[in-house]
Chain A
Amino acid sequence: MAKFEKANSVGEWLDQRLNLTTFNKVMMTEYWIPKDINFLWAMGVLLATTFGILIISGIFLMMYYKPDINLAFDSVNYTIMQEVAFGWLFRHIHGVAASVIFLIIYIHMFTGIYYGSYKQGREMIWISGMLLFMTFSAAGFSGYMLPWGQMSYWAAMVITNLFGGVPVIGPELVVWIRGDFNVADATLTRFFMLHVFLLPITIMGIIGLHFYTLRIPHVNNQTSDEFDFDTEAEKYLAGNKKESKVIPFWPVFISKDLAVLGVFLIFYFYLVFFHYNFAMDPVNFDPANNMVTPAHIYPEWYFLWSYEVLRGFFFDIAGFKAFDIGLIAFAFANAIFLVLPWLDRDPKILPAHKRPMFFVWFWILMVDLIVLTVYGKLPPTGTNAWVGFFAAVAFILLFLILPIVTKIDAKKRGSL
């Protein structure tokens, strides 16, 4: 055992046992971030904060929520919304944060794509991030079921039904997921468990992993400038702060994050108090009723693009059933981002505006995703169905041609 001297202060006592000084250096004051960044680099801290908001508001909601199909709706809409002091505030905070966090996730994700921060050593950052996207999606979906409103019920019905398309085990899989032949009490209680326990725990674990993956390859910067972090850190520590290309996480990087966070929170709390219907769909204030199908069933806005890829294939092609093609396309849409680092065949890390073909590709992707999102909500009839079909095909093609697009850029530059 190490030899312990008598400590002269609580801080010293703790330092002897936990080595907090070093820990603080490694995690905060000597954790180096590039200086050449813009506000898009604050999205990580925004996400961590929003996740914190979700956890805290969720804890308060869980104190009154009742996961039972006969009690759930009233426990949310009467007990929490009307009886509990500020229960409505916690629900609005939770519901709106659940929606807004996806906006920030998407900004974070497309920032990564734009600046090429997913490749050449940063693959694990990207993959752990995409795992977070998937687990957050599962959390969003399971949480949406809990108020047991009309949209809770019918979205659960439609989405669990999709698993029926899995070859061989499909029908059994649906029953296994639902815990019943229908979406019923057993479905609600298991999604409650997933939402309040398994998924948050998993997300916390992956957030830890995501932070850790940044350690070795380091955070990217605006110009994808590659430099030696140790040399730059030495410059900084020697007092050459202006010349150094890095800043410490605490307090320099975090001070900028906090300024951005301030603006974000104004926007977010404006939505919480005055503009929440986009996140708390009015249809879900009708209690679940398995005898009445709502006129329009649609998922939350953040699922619409992949939902439209699924729905876009509305007619049989060459003997394949529309449902099966849609399902395959849906699986493709949800998995393809994971392998993005290997679809990009350009060996150099550069922001999109330094990669002419990729730049065009990126903005077409953005437009296509917005088209898919909007048409994912519109009734799939007439022209809408065809717009959805072509946008879905375009989405798939975009990823199929990505290796070629990136190779052309590299060749023109002479990197290949």
Chain B
Amino acid sequence: MRELKILAVVVALTLITYWGVEPYAHSQMHPHVEPADFTFSDLKEAVAPVKELKGDVTNGETLVTSNCTACHSIESKGFPQIMDNVSSAAAYGVTPPDLGTSGKLYNADYLASFVQDPATTSKVAHKYVDGKVHPMPSYNWLQPQEIADVVAYLKDIAPKEMTNKEVFADACQRCHSIKYADMKNGTMAAFTPDADIKKYMGKLPPDLSQMIRSRGHEYLETFINDPQKHLAGTAMPRVGLTEESQAQVIAYLEEVGDSKKVQREELGPKFLIYLVIFAIFGFLWKASKWRDVH
């Protein structure tokens, strides 16, 4: 009985200390932020006129091929990259994305707003002051119907299914490397060369190999959805991923950065069962030895 009381005191002191240095301290160091907003409600007003309309895919195709393919590739529709990554990065600051998957990766409202005003929609207007402009011009002269058509077309040509890796490549890899995904051949380096992306972003965007361990699910979920929430003033744009695409990005970060998770979670219970048996034998042995001395 006395031993249990002592144990209770030891456990209580340990838990109080643990609570103080872990959950409590971290809540003080990393203030709570609002949950991720996959409806991009701040854009509601800007896209209201577009949302009322039904987009026309055929007209959207005409608009996209005449306005967008000068810079953007759409490999799946026979519009290859006009320049290689190095040259296009030198020309635009950052390699422009292929538009073949945009309709799947990005929220439709976000896309509609982005076409009209890329800097504000991606929450990086603070970077484009003193005469600097976003590499993609604002197509705010397009009529709401035309924007609806563009979005309808992008959605129409987008694949229905993509692997986690494909989502990552299209959504993140223009700026970010994830070298642990291919340590040997280095194919998972950022598409934009380091020197260019450093100039474009102000600093080299971090390699994402270990983000799942260094940031964790909860942080990534709110951060990717809106980087400004955690890092006010950061140069990283809000990219407008849908909930599904973002989950795929995070799943990919986990596949690469915590590749042994499944093994860990399978092995853990086995260890614990073994040790419970060990402890039972320990207590039985103890009882047999102490019977004589008490």
Q: Which residues of B contact A198 (CB under 8 A)?
A: none
Top 10 nearest A-B pairs (CB, nearest first) are: A262-B279, A273-B268, A374-B20, A285-B214, A259-B282, A262-B282, A285-B213, A255-B289, A377-B25, A259-B286
Segment of A77-85, A157-165, A184-192, A401-409 engaged in the interface with chain B: A77-85
In whole angstroms, what is the CA distance A74 to B183 when docked?
10
Quick check: which of A34-42, A208-216, A322-330 contacts chain B, the rest being far away?
A34-42
What count of chain A residues pass the 8 Å CB interface test? 54
A286/B183 in contact, CB under 8 A: no
A259 — which chain B residues lie within 8 A by C-beta? 279, 282-283, 285-286
CB distance from A64 to the nearest CB of B (A): 14
A269 within 8 A of B: yes
Chain B residue, CB-CB nearest to A250:
B289
A18 CB within 8 Å of chain B:
no
For residue A255, which residues in chain B have a CB less than 8 angstroms away from its CB? 282, 285-286, 288-290
Shortest distance between the CB of B81 and any CB in chain A (Å): 31
Question: Would you call A247 and B293 a contact (CB within 8 A)?
Answer: yes
B residues in contact with A265, CB < 8 Å: 275, 278-279
A374 to B289, CA, bound (A): 42
From 260 to 316 in chain A, residues with beta carbon under 8 angstroms from any chain B beta carbon are 260-263, 265-266, 269-270, 272-274, 277-278, 282-287, 295-296, 301, 304
Interface range, B side: 35 or more
In the complex, A251 has a CB within 8 A of chain B? yes
242-267 of chain B: CB within 8 A of chain A: 259-260, 263-265, 267
Contact residues of A between 23 and 42, Cβ < 8 Å to B: 35, 38-40
CA distance A60 to B290 in the complex (A): 38
A286→B214 contact, CB < 8 A: yes
Binding site for B on A (CB under 8 A): 35, 38-40, 74, 77-78, 81-82, 88-89, 92, 103, 107, 241-242, 244, 247, 251-252, 255-256, 258-263, 265-266, 269-270, 272-274, 277-278, 282-287, 295-296, 301, 304, 366, 370, 373-374, 377-379
Partner of B286, one of A40, A258, A285: A258
CA A274 to CA B292, docked complex, whole Å: 40
B58 → A minimal CB distance (Å): 48
For A301, the chain B residues whose CB sits under 8 A away are: 17, 21
B120 within 8 A of A: no
| Contact B294 A242, beta carbon cutoff 8 Å | yes
Residue in chain B with minimal CB distance to A282 = B214
Q: Which residues of A contact B283 (CB under 8 A)?
A: 259, 262
Q: A81-B260, A258-B285, A377-B21 are in contact. Are A286 and B6 (CB under 8 A)?
A: no
When distances are taken between beta carbons in the complex, the residues of chain B under 8 Å from A241 are: 292-293
Question: What B residues does A256 contact at CB under 8 A?
Answer: 286, 289-290
Residues of B within 8 A of A270 (CB): 268, 272
| Chain A residues whose C-beta falls within 8 Å of the C-beta of B282 in the assembled complex | 255, 258-262
Q: Is B29 an interface residue (CB 8 A)?
A: yes
- Closest chain-B Cβ to A101's Cβ sits at a distance in Å of 14
Task: Provide the residues of chain A in CB contact with B24, threshold 8 Å.
Answer: 374
Q: How far is the CB of A27 from chain B (nearest CB, A)?
A: 18
User: With A259-B282, A262-B282, A370-B13 in contact, do A78 and B183 touch (Cβ < 8 Å)?
Assistant: yes
**22 residue pairs from A and B, CB less than 8 Å apart:** A38-B2, A74-B183, A78-B180, A78-B209, A81-B260, A89-B264, A92-B264, A107-B10, A242-B293, A252-B289, A258-B286, A262-B276, A262-B283, A269-B272, A272-B268, A273-B265, A287-B210, A304-B21, A366-B13, A373-B17, A377-B21, A379-B28
User: A304 vs B21: C-alpha distance in the bound complex, in angstroms?
Assistant: 9
Residues of the B chain whose Cβ atoms lie less than 8 Å from the Cβ of A374: 17, 20-21, 24-25
A227 to chain B, nearest CB (A): 15
Chain B hits for A247, CB < 8 A = 293
Q: Smallest distance from the beta carbon of B270 to chain A beta carbons, Å?
A: 10
Q: How far is the CA of A393 from the CA of B28 in the complex (A)?
A: 24
- B7 lies within 8 A of chain A by Cβ: yes
CA distance A68 to B281 in the complex (A): 45
Q: Which of B25, B210, B275, B278 contacts A286 (CB 8 A)?
A: B210
- CB pair B183–A266 under 8 Å, yes or no, is no
Q: Does B80 contact A (CB under 8 A)?
A: no
Interfacial residues of chain B within 1-38, with CB under 8 A of chain A in the complex: 2-3, 6-7, 10, 13-14, 16-18, 20-22, 24-25, 28-29
- The closest CB in chain B to the CB of A40 belongs to B6
B271 within 8 A of A: yes
Q: Does B294 contact A278, Cβ atoms closer than 8 Å?
A: no
**In the complex the two chains form, what is the Cα distance from A301 to B24 in whole Å?**
13
Q: Which residue of B lies closest to A79 (CB)?
A: B183
The CA-CA distance from A272 to B180 in the complex, in Å, is: 23
A128 to B: closest C-beta gap in Å? 24
Complex-state Cα separation, A322 to B71, whole angstroms:
59
B54 within 8 A of A: no
Residues of B within 8 A of A272 (CB): 268, 271
Kindly report which residue of chain A lies nearest to residue B266, judged by CB atoms. A273
Inter-subunit contact B279/A266 (CB<8 Å): yes
Contacts of A81 in B (CB 8 A): 260
Whole-angstrom CA separation of A182 from B28 in the bound complex: 31
CB B68 to nearest CB in A, in angstroms, measures: 37
A89, B260: Cα distance in complex, Å: 9
Given contacts A251-B289, A374-B17, contact A262 B180 (CB under 8 A): no
In the bound complex, residues from chain B placing their C-beta under 8 Å from that of A296 are 29
Residues of A within 8 A of B276 (CB): 262, 266
